[in-house]
Amino acid sequence: MKTRILGLLAAVSLVATLVVGWRLPPTEEQAGYARLIAVHPALAWTAYIAFGVMALGSLLYLLPATRSRKWDRLAGASGEVGVVFTALMLVTGSIWGRPTWGTWWVWDARLTLSALMLALLFGYVALRKVDMDVDRRAIISAVTGVAAVLVVPINHFAVTWWRTLHQGRSAATLAPSSNLDGSYLRAMFLGMVAMMLVYAWLLIHRIRLERLEEENRGADLAVALAERRAEAHDGAVSGAPDGGAVVGS
């Protein structure tokens, strides 16, 4: 029931963000697009947190001392939700970049890193979608999650050097911190709170769904075990011609 309150809070703050964001005054440079400050930084912030939680859950599952199914569920759920936030961050960034830079995409360091992060998340989620044994999937995706986060610092240096060695253009122009007045800041923080609540709500529900699926599987197992044992009984007692021999898989 607590998640219902969380869901309600998430919905209310999301609507509030949209209303407050929509009513922000346009700026000279960016016109109405400046309103995106209410959602874009918040999406980015949440996307990075989702990636971090995915990596942390993977690491905790991988370490023998802390290995537990719950870390796998946490990592998997955060990875899936993270894909959505990362994709939305790139989309809103592009919409913002179009009037600001004149193109949908620039090879800015931060944009490139975000795109690479989305690719890493795609790989992670694609792996989890493959049909396989739950424990096997857990260990494989834990290794994938940790391997994905290990590359982040290296990516950071590589991409930053790559872009800054050539030109000074950076995403700093996206957030005009110098002339950012109070109403923009407030909208940005409200957006962050809203996105974090939405993230938490989605995460909890995804984890719950996964747990239910696993419990369901456990219940199936009890039935399957009973059926399997019954085969032995049929085969030995009745001696039916097809008794016990029909199980071939």
Is residue 246 a contact residue for other proteins (CB under 8 A)? yes
Is residue 216 a contact residue for other proteins (CB under 8 A)? no
Is residue 143 a contact residue for other proteins (CB under 8 A)? yes
Q: Pick the binder of other proteins from 44, 146, 174, 194 (CB under 8 A).
A: 146
Residue 194 token pair: 């809203």
Is residue 211 a contact residue for other proteins (CB under 8 A)? no
Is residue 120 a contact residue for other proteins (CB under 8 A)? yes
Helices (H), the chain: 2-22, 40-62, 69-101, 109-129, 134-164, 182-237
CB of 49 closer than 8 Å to CB of 67: no
Is residue 232 a contact residue for other proteins (CB under 8 A)? yes
Q: Which residues of 150-173 are buried (b: 16+ CB within 10 A; e: fewer)?
A: eebeebeeebeeebeeeeeeebee
Determine the size of the site formed for other proteins (CB under 8 A).
53
Shorter beta-carbon distance to other proteins: residue 69 or 205: 69
Shorter beta-carbon distance to other proteins: residue 176 or 231: 231
DSSP state of 35: G
Is residue 233 a contact residue for other proteins (CB under 8 A)? yes
Sequence-distant (6+) residues with CB within 8 A of 151 are 120
Residues 50-69 that bind other proteins (CB under 8 A): 62
Q: Pick the binder of other proteins from 23, 98, 136, 211 (CB under 8 A).
A: 136
